[in-house]
Each structure stands twice: as C-alpha cells, then as structure tokens.
Structure 1
C-alpha cells in the first residue's frame, strides 16, 4: 500500500515565530491531504542574517521551540522530519552548536536524532559551517510507518559511503536529505546528486529545501530551492522551482521499492571481498 509523504519548500528567516507559523501551515496542508510523514528542510526553525545569530538562537532539544514542533506532530497525528535544527549542547567549545535532524512521531515524541556528520565548508559560496558547528559522529536510521528512514542533512549527500551504509547495513528504504543548498552548488549538482543517491541505493529520496533570499539585511543568504522527491528507479516524483514555497504530496510504495530491488539485486551482488564494507 502506498503512503503519502509531504515534501516541503520554504524560505526561513531569522524569526522563530514567523517560521513556526509557516511550518504549521505547511504541516496542516499536508495533514489535510492524508500525509503520514511531513519533511521540512534544513534550518526550518531559523536562518540568521548576521554572524552569531544561529548560536544565539540555538536551543536544547528539550527547549520550547522543539516542544512546539512536537506538539504540532501530536495535534496533526503525523510524523515530522525536522531537517536541521540549531541544537545547543552544554560543553561544546567556543559556543559552537550542532546541526540536528530530528524525527518526531505522531505521538509528539522524538523518535530519532541525527547530528550532521559532514559540515559545509565551501568558502567560495560564503559559507563555512565548521566556524559555528560541531560535526556529528553517528550514522542514524529510524523505523517509521512509511518505511525505514535514512536520516541525513544537506551536504551529506556528496558522500555516497554514508548512503551505502544506510541502505546495506541499516536497511534504509527512504533517504531524507533536508537541505539549504547554496546557489552555485545547487545549480551545478542538486538534481544529479539526489537522483544518483536514489539509484545507487534503490531507495526513495525525499529532499525538502529552503528557497530564495532569507533576510532583507545582513548576509542576504539565498538558497537554491528545487525540493525534490525521487523514486528508487531515479524517477523524479515531485519537484519545486527555485522560488516557490508550499507542500507537494508524493506516494511511497513498498511494492515499487521491492520490485526495483528484485529486478536488480544489488544487495547480493556487492563484491565486499574486493572493495570491503563501508564500516
């Protein structure tokens, strides 16, 4: 049976209240269309305009912002993929934070937590994530009603070993890649990377995205957009343009997934004896 997933695109600002209202509207729309899970992008709760704003906005997962999103999931009785939360952790050096992907279940409980492993240090784009963020160290998957989730964030998508591990060692069926891609890297590689990860792992890819200019002042950061869902055969099921916002509903079908995997049984054809495992 096919289950529905809400794929979201938004333009977050440096205002948590405005962002929550945007996310609430997106989740409500997805709920009205029968979605079981809703995917929100990286930085869904906050994108700063000035240096240091992200650290100042960061909270613990037990804090008020995450509590509101957990209550939203409970109210709408669906799962949320909260794609990249500025998590404050006591004891981190130099007031650095974590870029954390939180999965919340339909009871409003945190089901899984992933801290972004690969930090986006690309000075040519104006973004050097390690200046404010500490890298995570654990690969994370999570059982859900729509299938086994491979939980990642944005820049992770450039490192195929992570996704191979999620598929062939963690049993992932749906790869979540919430993003706030830069303009030059998105223009060059966004669709190519998302479709490649889907094909080589025979998984669905759900890539919620930030789009457009986030704040009127400060660094005037812009994101590529083009939120996308891809099936295990590499077919694009839904895609936004570079500026629109909203939610698109896609169906995740276990029959499609199993059919692709049976036709091309990559799991049993891998030559670990030659090139080793991912671990």
Structure 2
C-alpha cells in the first residue's frame, strides 16, 4: 500500500489549515496514495497550549471533522489528522475547561474509521499540556485497517512509552502512525529519530513519524522500516513524501527477530 507523510506548518487559522490539508490530499491522491498522515494539532496549533485550544474544540461530528471527512471523500484517500475534540456527555466527568487531543482516521469514502484520544500528555520542558488537554479516560490501543494493512495510532509524547507500541503491535498493527508536534530543545531531534527507530525495531513494524514544522516543532518527519532503517526523512519545511509499505517486509522482519514469541514478561 502507498502512504504519504504530510509535514504541515499549522497555525491558528483553522480555515487555512483545512485548505492546506485539502491541497496535500489532492497531491497525495494524484501520486496514487492510499493514506495520508498529518501531524498532531493539524487543524489548530500554536507554540503553547492555552485556553484557546479548549475554545476551538468541537465534537467529532462538528464542522472541522466534517470538513476532513468531505476532503477524504472528495479525493478518495484515507486521512489521519489531529484535531481538538470537545468532551461529550458520555465521557464520564464532563470537563468544559479541557479538550481532548484527538487523532481521527477517515476512510476514502469519508467515513470515520477510528479516533484516538492522546493517552500521555506532555508535561515536560516547562509545558503543561494537561492544564488544557484531558487524557483519554480509558487508555486503550486504537487500530484501523487501510490498503490491506493494519495501523496503530500514537500521538507525539506517546512515542516515549514503548509499552503502547507493543500493545498496538500485539493488537495487529503492522505500522505505527506517530502524529506529532515534537517540541524543540536540546537533543530533541536526535531523540525523535532514535525513538522512532527503536519502536520499529522492537516490534517489527513500520513507523511513520509525522511532525509539525519549526518554529513550533522540529519537522524531520520520517518513515522507518521494520528493521529500523530510515527509508525517507523530510527536512524542516512544509512538504510531503509518498512511499510504499509492504506487509511482506513486516513478516520478514518478524521472522528474523521473533521477539513477540520470545517475550516472557507480563
């Protein structure tokens, strides 16, 4: 199957961000891609998470998600993108002062295939994402199928938690989509690459790590194969890269290193 990594420079203009997403979808569809992957906070982003993130949140049947679904259907391509989801009455304690940092996976017909609420919130480097973002009430793995392969969803800081990647692989994921706005800092670019490669090697999966661009984030979106080789890496500018994934490569890597069979810890 064919995948497109879409490295964005999202800002606070939601209309502009949605237009950029549509332009990238058109480009990916022209290149024959089955799936295009956008970063965390694709539809609204700024250098610090603040009250505006809560104000911009909508339900998954709201205008932003509906526009993403219409874009996917218009170009006949599956879309994964990050948005701000407003809590609903079915979420236990309704918190009007915090939103969910959510990834949606949309099919080429415009249907919602899956949604994933970020589990691990970035309370590091002086940031307090949890002040305005609510973690998933139930930290469950989320996968979906597209183009004959199974994908697992992760968001940014989740990449530092290897147990989530393993749970997704155990749930059938052959590729991990790590949608991010990786905060810059000392050694952060090196950590981004090292962690993406480690998650691929540990689980015998592809890792498509897609990030926002500077100055908010670092860029350097990449596709890592199941043996840990970086097949392609973008620089720091907004850009796309379209590449092919093979289930056979996953099987071959797991045949060489059947860690899933040798694993003995609970």
Task: Provide TM-score, normalisation by structure 1.
Answer: 0.89
CA drift at 1:267: 2.0
Task: Pick from 119, 122, 138 the counterpart of residue 120 of structure 1.
Answer: 122
- The answer to whether 1:223 aligns with 2:217 is yes
Alignment: residue pair count = 258
Whole-angstrom distance in 2 between the partners of 1:17 and 1:199: 39
Whole-angstrom distance in 2 between the partners of 1:141 and 1:191: 23
Task: Provide TM-score, normalisation by structure 2.
Answer: 0.93
Q: Secondary structure at the match of 1:30?
A: helix
Match of 1:216 in 2: none
Contact map agreement 1:37 1:146 (CA 8 A) in 2: no
Alignment of 1:79-118 (within 5 A): 79-82=78-81, 84-90=82-88, 92-118=94-120
Whole-angstrom distance in 1 between the partners of 2:11 and 2:190: 25
Deviations 1:65-114 (A, max 9, x none): 110110111111111111x2110113532421001111000110001011
Contact map agreement 1:36 1:146 (CA 8 A) in 2: no
Match of 1:263 in 2: 256
Whole-angstrom distance in 2 between the partners of 1:180 and 1:201: 23
CA drift at 1:172: 0.8
**Contiguous gaps of at least 5 residues in structure 2:** none
Match of 1:36 in 2: 34
Whole-angstrom distance in 2 between the partners of 1:252 and 1:129: 33
Q: 1:94 to 1:63 in 2, by over 3 A?
A: closer
Contact map agreement 1:14 1:49 (CA 8 A) in 2: no
- Answer with 8-17 or 144-153: which moved more: 144-153
Whole-angstrom distance in 2 between the partners of 1:165 and 1:129: 24
Runs of 4+ in 1 over 6 A off after TM superposition: none
Pairwise CA RMSD: 1.4
Q: Secondary structure at the match of 2:43?
A: coil
Task: Pick from 224, 227, 244 the counterpart of residue 233 of structure 1.
Answer: 227
**Contiguous gaps of at least 5 residues in structure 1:** 214-221
Q: 1:49 to 1:225 in 2, by over 3 A?
A: closer
Match of 1:54 in 2: 53
